[in-house]
């Protein structure tokens, strides 16, 4: 079994969620050992919320959960790529398919990911 080196980065490792079918990068969050273990135990992505200082079940409030298809770990054992099935179509808490919904193209900022839901309706 592989296991991230949580000690290297003060208990947290970056975890990049990527659509398992398309390869689209959906989001980046952090995992601590508790989130890692819960993810392995449940098959749903769990992260560590730095702003709330608590374990976070992705989609626990919105229903937009991430079902783990596979997990990749880098050679230094300090970064993860989660290949996921994004239930409900949105990974971003602002309602977009991807947290990376903006890009700079030809010197202009454009939205490059569709909005899937209205956050005001979901997070009441």
In DSSP terms, 103 is beta-bridged to 110
Q: Which residues are annotated as a binding site?
A: 74-76, 78, 92, 99
**In this structure, is residue 2 part of a structural domain?**
no
**In this structure, is residue 45 part of a structural domain?**
yes
> Per the structure block, which two tokens stand in for 21?
């079918």
| Mean pLDDT computed over 86-98 | 96
**In this structure, is residue 103 part of a structural domain?**
no
Using one digit for the tens of pLDDT, what is the confidence trace for 9-51?
Answer: 999 999 999 999 999 999 999 999 999 999 999 999 999 999 9
Residue 23 sits in a domain whose CATH number is 3.10.20.810
Q: Which residues are annotated as a binding site for Zn(2+)?
A: 75, 92, 99
pLDDT, position 63: 94
Using one digit for the tens of pLDDT, what is the confidence trace for 53-64?
Answer: 999 999 999 999
What secondary structure does DSSP assign to 62-94, as a single string? TS--EEEEEEEE-TTS--EEEEEEEGGG--STT
- Considering its fold, how many domains does the chain have in total? 1
**In this structure, is residue 113 part of a structural domain?**
no
Q: Which residues are annotated as a binding site for Mg(2+)?
A: 74, 76, 78
> Per the structure block, which two tokens stand in for 115?
């909005």
């Amino acid at each position: 079994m592989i296991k991230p080196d949580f000690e290297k980065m003060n208990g947290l490792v970056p975890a990049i969620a990527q659509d398992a079918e398309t390869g689209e990068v959906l989001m980046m969050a952090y995992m601590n050992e508790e989130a890692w273990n819960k993810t392995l135990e449940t098959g749903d992505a769990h992260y560590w919320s730095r702003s709330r200082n608590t374990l976070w079940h992705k989609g626990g409030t919105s229903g937009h959960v991430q079902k783990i298809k596979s997990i990749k770990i880098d050679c230094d054992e300090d970064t993860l790529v989660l290949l996921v099935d994004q239930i409900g179509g949105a990974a971003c808490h602002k309602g977009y398919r991807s947290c990376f919904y903006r890009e700079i193209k030809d010197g202009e900022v454009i939205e490059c990911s569709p909005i899937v839901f209205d956050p005001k309706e979901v997070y009441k």
